[in-house]
Amino acid sequence: MIAKIMKGSDFKGVVYYILNDEKGTRIIDSDGLFLENNDTIAQGFTGQARMNPRVTKAVGHIALGFSKEDEPRLDNVLMVWIAREYMEKMGIRNTQYIIGRHFDKEHPHMHIAFNRIDNDGKTISDRNDRFRSGRICKELTRKYGLHFANGKEHVKVHHLREPDRTRYELYGILKTEVGRCGNWDVLVASLKRQGVEVEFKRKGQTDEVQGVVFTMNGYRFNGSKVDRRFSYSKIDAVLGRNSHEERQAQVRPQVNREEISFSAGSGGDLVSGPLGLLTPDNRPEEQQPYDPYLRNRKKKKQRKINW
């Protein structure tokens, strides 16, 4: 479950967007509004917003999206239940709202339009709303047993606009190349072959590197803006680890021929050495030649000791 938070001043615009017939919209919940038509809904929002004209962005708009793996479970009743709990935890209460479910995408999602001026004329706070929303989404995802998506791997890049499209393409390239390169020279060369230029940011006039910038399709991105794992320090740590693993893989235990050698004096079928491993005297009994006389002597000796 993820949320996208937007704010604005045009209630009519957000109502017509959410209640768009081409999206197969269904109003699954509402409060404090007449639902006769789009204009009636927008007028109801606008009328209440006039109670506090100092707030220029009275339109609250939140899109709640879910993984397509959750679609069999997410009927309208459960989606309304989740939306209400989300709004309550976000402090969106005692105000007008509509919730419209869209069916124009393969993943379940719904849009909440609410009035940031509540029924008493007070403003619903948006302080740290994105931070709070992220925490609440994770909490509700766990509570309702919903699917945790893998972040950027599930983004449909071809649906994005620039520069986001390039940033996500760059994310995929860096994820592959950083994971398999052993130093910066190899990484820079590999990225250049794929149309990515690398620039290092240094501290003042020194050679100390403080950051890295990637340029692709004419767009520049700090490494950490592509993804937190691609800051200079984190990439440098991964490259160092890759280099160490490559060196370790090249080291193989060598057999010391002075310690273990094949004895040619017994037809080449015995192994002898300073540890006396597998010499004629200490080979496992089942591997020694059968000698009835020796076996009888052992039996007699054993009986004598026991007696």
Tokens 């706070």 label which residue?
125
- Supply φ then ψ for residue 204, to 5 degrees: 55, -130
- Range 199-213 average pLDDT: 93
Cβ contact 56:120 at 8 Å: no
Cα–Cα nearest to 178, from 151, 164, 198, 159: 198
pLDDT value of position 278: 44
Cβ contact 88:134 at 8 Å: no
What would the pLDDT profile of 9-19 be if each residue is shown by its tens digit? 999 999 999 99
Cβ contact 222:210 at 8 Å: no
What would the pLDDT profile of 21-38 be if each residue is shown by its tens digit? 888 899 999 999 999 999
- Range 179-206 average pLDDT: 94
Q: What would you report as the CA-atom Rg of the chain, rounded to the nearest whole angstrom?
A: 36
Lowest mean per-residue pLDDT among 106-110, 246-250, 296-300: 296-300
What is the rounded CA–CA span in Å between residue 261 and residue 276? 11
- Range 88-116 average pLDDT: 95
Cβ contact 67:149 at 8 Å: yes
Alpha helices in the chain (DSSP H): 11-18, 38-49, 76-90, 129-143, 164-180, 184-193, 223-226, 232-250, 292-306
Non-local CB neighbours of 59 within 8 Å, separated by 6+ positions: 7, 8, 9, 10, 11, 14, 45, 113, 115, 116
- Range 231-255 average pLDDT: 83
What would the pLDDT profile of 153-169 be if each residue is shown by its tens digit? 556 666 678 998 899 89
Neighbours of 236 (CB within 10 A): 14
Q: Which helix (H) or strand (E) is 100 found in, with range?
A: strand 97-102
Q: What are the CA-CA distances from residue 305 to residues 298, 299, 302 (Å)?
A: 11, 10, 5
Cβ contact 83:71 at 8 Å: no
Q: Is 226 helix (H, G, I), strand (E, B) or coil?
A: helix
pTM for this one? 0.54
Cβ contact 101:80 at 8 Å: no
What would the pLDDT profile of 116-132 be if each residue is shown by its tens digit? 999 999 999 999 999 99
User: 3-class secondary structure for 17-40?
Assistant: HHCCHHHCCEEEEEECCCCCCHHH
Residue 3 falls in which region: left (phi positive, over 0), alpha (psi -120 to 50) or beta = beta
- Range 1-14 average pLDDT: 95
Q: Enumerate helices (H) and strands (E) in the chain, giving the number of each.
A: 9, 10
